[in-house]
Chain A
Amino acid sequence: MRIGLFATCLGDTLFPEAVKSTAVLLARLGHDVVFPPEQTCCGQMHVNTGYQREPVPLVRGFAEQFGDPSIEAVVMPSGSCAGSVRHQHEIVAERYGDAALRSGVAAVKAKTYELSEFLVDVLDVTRVGAYFPHRVTYHPTCHSLRMLRVGDKPLRLLRAVEGIDLVELPEADACCGFGGTFAVKNGETSSAMLQDKMRHVTGTGADVCTAGDASCLMHIGGGLSRIKAGTRTLHLAQILASTRTAPYALTEAAR
């Protein structure tokens, strides 16, 4: 399958390891990974903060970059960016776009997937040959859980990882408090939510807290780093790309 990889602006800039792992994983599964070079950002932050005119060029850019019909699927290691493409691009296009943009957005939306749903639903695999001999707890991010409805797909992938000690996160479905600019505009409320999430994460005794979104992991990880907790954060793709021959070394920086 010819897969268009969307790195996401955050992944590309701050968390390249998560994107590398995604690319490696898809390549191992025998797929042709292409990276449209002009890609940048899906515009999620703009729309969620109330700006719909400003991201029009970003929405257009995304549709153009991934509109190529030879790209059979657009895959990204982010539930919230996939949610943005699938649910918000058409809002922007309807309101401020033209007919061409609307049809471009609709075409791309139909083939856009978050990594775990692409693996399980489209490729029909849960066992990707991963090896990760560590204690791990999984935080289902809000947009993966409630916008994309990925359900237990990430957990099915994790359960199939060799050597993993997967422990359940109490009150897993509670938001970590990130919410993009929410964490800045309502920093104190966001912090209060983060404290509870960290209490649950550290309570599991896990070495690693994983999720399908680098943004939420940046939030949780930033908090864990501040309190010098023993648990670090790691993107789901990085666990899935870790193998016996190329194991992820937990001693290196968590990202």
Chain B
Amino acid sequence: MSSTFLGMPAAPPRSPYGTGNLRGDRKFPKAASGELRNEQLRRNLGKATRSIRAKRLAVTGELPDWERLRDAGSAIKTETMNRLPELLEQLERKVTEHGGTVHWARDGVEANEIVTRLVKETGSDEVIKVKSMATQEIGLNEHLDTQGVTAYETDLAELIVQLAHDKPSHILVPAIHRNRDEVRDIFRREIPGVDPDLDSVPAHLAAAARAYLREKFMTTPVAVSGANFGIAETGTLSVVESEGNGRMCLTMPRTLITVMGIEKVLPRYRDLEVFLQLLPRSSTGERMNPYTSMWTGVTPGDGPQEFHLVLLDNGRTAALADRIGREALNCIRCSACLNVCPVYERAGGHAYGSTYPGPIGAVLTPQLAGMHEAKGDPNSSLPYASSLCGACFDACPVKIDIPSLLVELRHQHTERSGVTAEKLAMRTAAAVMKRPKLFTAAQKAAGAGRVLAGRDGTFSHLPPPFDSWSDSRDTPAPPKQTFRSWLASAEGAATLRAAAEEGVPAPGPTGAAGPHDPEEQR
């Protein structure tokens, strides 16, 4: 029951457990372990993310108002979430006024059913698809397949993934884990009638995809897309892309079905002036992506004459209900956070087990689909898949404070996990540290441990769970004397007294100008 009747708000449900693609089958450290040993993957990811990082910095750096655009983008998204009910109703009204039909889906299962029904009503058993995170999230292709409908992915990277029977590993470039030689091999193996001598020049690979999909674009009567933005004020939908496959899908078929997460709505048409600057520069590192399509309902004589918009919840309202976590809904799926993340760069996208990998995935996935602590849910490991280095926060075009969200989700996880060994250890540590006398005693005990250290004064092997640390790092043995005992000693007091008397030493006899001396002097 909703608040309308009871006056008491109920916590909205997460995406139903066991549906869609919001959960892997292993916890992050385990999943990452296999990926980390894949040298090819490490090289592919390292090369790709380094190149995109440089491009992004170049095109964001050339805008003097980049930070102001980020501020505006962030505020618009916050405003959007605040006004979500009225904006969704307005969007629905406007789309309907312009000849479209709006459907609502409580979760992925319902969205899949709606899309399947709409496709079947057209009489087609094939659909062409524009890359869409929402339909990947709900497992639409897999569902259509069980219903006898074949979905053709038309984005080059999605096509590579689909042909290889693989899973996407990046928001923007789902096949980022594949290099050109691997793509060539996949194409040679999977595309019917492809030139057996196809080489690995990216332009030739793109040409092969063009030839393969051309006929599909010309003949398939139904397309399914996602949406980057939906403008409440005008009912305008927008898809941002590069290859023209989006334009094809949005223009050529008779029927267009767009699946959009409810958080993708924007209040005003004018808001596009902010996001059309933030998104391309953050995602592909271009001043503008090659193609953006915007359409409002149905236009007689131009493009699909039947348009359906499916508004998807699937856990988004559960995220919205969290005061801190809801910020993750502001994401515009640019993938800048993936490209700067040191963890993503090493472990790759598959380790996250979700449609949404990387830093944003680590905060979005658990909120959409839950962390189900009692079931040993792999999602409960995602908030810990970060060193909290903060590079994602700096790169985010809408300033999502991902590190703080990670810390918050870790807290929610520990709160719901009952009493664990770790929690007991944390309690003990806090109990010791809050009593200075106990702390000092513990320091002494630690100091005594130095006798166990190796001859070089370090520990090279530690017991579990610290063995994963000591596998590649030595740990220094505690020194004889802590700082506080030194300070309390006669030596400590004398040293500080001498320092105060000495003052700041003057530059040496050679003067201040050494070979590496600073240009800056005070």
Taking CB atoms, residues of chain A closer than 8 Å to B471 are 187, 191
Q: How far is the CA of A34 from the CA of B341 in the complex (A)?
A: 40
Which of B436, B447, B468, B478 sits near A40, CB closer than 8 Å? B436
Contact present for A14 and B411 (CB under 8 Å): no
Quote the shortest CB–CB distance from B387 to chain A (angstroms).
3
Taking CB atoms, residues of chain B closer than 8 Å to A51 are 411, 414, 423, 426, 430
Contact present for B499 and A28 (CB under 8 Å): yes
Contact present for A46 and B426 (CB under 8 Å): yes
| B456 (CB) vs chain A CBs: closest residue | A225
Q: How far is the CA of A58 from the CA of B507 in the complex (A)?
A: 42
Q: Number of residues in A with C-beta < 8 Å to the partner?
A: 94
Taking CB atoms, residues of chain B closer than 8 Å to A163 are 508, 514, 516
Q: How far is the CA of A125 from the CA of B521 in the complex (A)?
A: 9
Q: How far is the CA of A190 from the CA of B384 in the complex (A)?
A: 12
Interface membership of A33, Cβ < 8 A: yes
Stretch at the interface among B6-14, B244-252, B390-398: B390-398
Contact present for A178 and B387 (CB under 8 Å): yes
Contact present for B407 and A50 (CB under 8 Å): yes
Quote the shortest CB–CB distance from B363 to chain A (angstroms).
13
Secondary structure at chain B's binding surface: helix, strand, loop or mixed?
A: helix
Contact present for B389 and A225 (CB under 8 Å): no
Stretch at the interface among B231-239, B292-300, B482-490: B482-490
Contact present for B411 and A48 (CB under 8 Å): no
Q: How far is the CA of A126 from the CA of B518 in the complex (A)?
A: 10
Contact present for A182 and B468 (CB under 8 Å): no
- Which positions 482-522 of chain B face chain A at CB distance < 8 Å? 482-484, 486-487, 492, 495-496, 499-500, 502-508, 512, 514-522
Which of B465, B474, B482, B487 sits near A222, CB closer than 8 Å? B474
Interface membership of B36, Cβ < 8 A: yes
Contact present for B479 and A14 (CB under 8 Å): yes
- Which positions 413-450 of chain B face chain A at CB distance < 8 Å? 413-414, 422-423, 426-427, 429-430, 433-434, 436, 439, 443, 446-447
Contact present for A174 and B474 (CB under 8 Å): no
Taking CB atoms, residues of chain A closer than 8 Å to B506 are 129
Which of A23, A30, A147, A189 sits near B346, CB closer than 8 Å? A189
Interface membership of B28, Cβ < 8 A: yes
The contact string, 1 if C-beta is below 8 Å from chain B, for chain A 177-216, is 1111111111111111111000000000000000000000
- Which positions 140-179 of chain A face chain B at CB distance < 8 Å? 142-143, 145-147, 156, 159-160, 162-166, 173-175, 177-179
Interface membership of A67, Cβ < 8 A: no
Interface membership of B24, Cβ < 8 A: no
| B518 (CB) vs chain A CBs: closest residue | A159
Q: How far is the CA of A96 from the CA of B423 in the complex (A)?
A: 17
| B505 (CB) vs chain A CBs: closest residue | A129
| B458 (CB) vs chain A CBs: closest residue | A225
Contact present for B430 and A58 (CB under 8 Å): yes
Interface membership of B476, Cβ < 8 A: yes
Q: How far is the CA of A192 from the CA of B396 in the complex (A)?
A: 24
Contact present for A127 and B521 (CB under 8 Å): yes
Interface membership of B349, Cβ < 8 A: no
The contact string, 1 if C-beta is below 8 Å from chain B, for chain A 60-96, is 0100000000000000000000000000100100000
Q: How far is the CA of A179 from the CA of B465 in the complex (A)?
A: 16
Assuming the contacts A166-B516, A222-B475, asked whether A54 and B482 have C-beta atoms less than 8 A apart, the reply is no
Taking CB atoms, residues of chain A closer than 8 Å to B426 are 46, 49, 51, 54
Taking CB atoms, residues of chain A closer than 8 Å to B472 are 187, 191, 194-195, 223, 226
Interface membership of B466, Cβ < 8 A: yes
Interface membership of B347, Cβ < 8 A: yes
Contact present for A187 and B469 (CB under 8 Å): yes
Interface hub of A50, A191, A226 (most chain B Cβ within 10 A): A50
| B381 (CB) vs chain A CBs: closest residue | A185
Q: How far is the CA of A164 from the CA of B516 in the complex (A)?
A: 6
Interface membership of A131, Cβ < 8 A: yes
Contact present for B384 and A226 (CB under 8 Å): no
Closest 4 CB pairs of A and B: A187-B468, A179-B387, A50-B410, A222-B473
Binding site for A on B (CB under 8 A): 28-29, 32-33, 36, 42, 342-343, 346-347, 383-391, 393-394, 403, 407, 409-414, 422-423, 426-427, 429-430, 433-434, 436, 439, 443, 446-447, 456-458, 460, 465-469, 471-476, 478-479, 481-484, 486-487, 492, 495-496, 499-500, 502-508, 512, 514-522
Given contacts A174-B342, A222-B474, A222-B476, 20 further A-B contacts (CB under 8 A): A14-B476, A16-B486, A39-B436, A49-B414, A50-B410, A50-B411, A54-B430, A127-B522, A128-B504, A146-B390, A156-B518, A184-B465, A186-B343, A189-B29, A189-B36, A191-B472, A192-B36, A192-B42, A218-B475, A221-B474
